[in-house]
Amino acid sequence: MEDQPIYHEKQRLQFCLLHALNNLMQEKDSFRRVELNAIAEKLVADDPLRAQWTPLSLIFKPHHNVFTGNYDVNVLIAALESRKKKVVWHDRRNGASSINLAEASLMGIMLNIPVKRLGGLWSGKHWVTLRLINGVWYNLDSDLSAPVPFKHQEELIQFLNNVISQGGEILIILHENL
């Protein structure tokens, strides 16, 4: 059996969720901006509190920032559910060692990590994908120039514990049909 080549989409503007999803799916254009925008718009249309929005809510939409390209977790969940994937929040009170990395239905791990840019003047969140490919876990962060392999599972657990300690969120992505 031949090793699968690693697909790694690099950061462009602030579309890190788009890049992280394509890295998770290991396919160029598995998701596109137009699809994520449509998901965000549907989430807005379905919002039961929409009547309480202010005029600024039309500019700074709750699920997608049209100026920066940022998408929130609701777009991630809806996008992955459209591909028959299940998203499970990891309880941050438990260490990363509680994640069953050998689970047959585990597709990958998505991280939402705090970042500071422009010398600390701008802070935000960044989506990152971790995925097991050819028996090796990789950090497929779109800010990296290339995928970075974890040497062993303990290094991955340590990395995830660091994400938790820095205020990041861990989302476990599962195949639904196993």
Tell me how far apart the alpha carbons of residues 69 and 79 are, in angstroms, rounded to a whole number. 16
Catalytic residue chosen out of the listed positions 19, 63, 64, 141: 141
Catalytic residue chosen out of the listed positions 8, 64, 90, 126: 126
Q: Residue 130 contacts by C-beta under 8 Å, 6 or more apart in sequence?
A: 108, 109, 110, 111, 137, 138, 139, 140, 156, 160
Answer yes or no: 46 catalytic. no
Answer yes or no: 143 catalytic. no
CB 101 within 8 A of CB 112: no
Structure-token match 């709750």, residue found: 62
Catalytic residue chosen out of the listed positions 8, 16, 19, 90: 16
Answer yes or no: 90 catalytic. no
Q: Catalogue the active-site residues.
A: 16, 126, 141
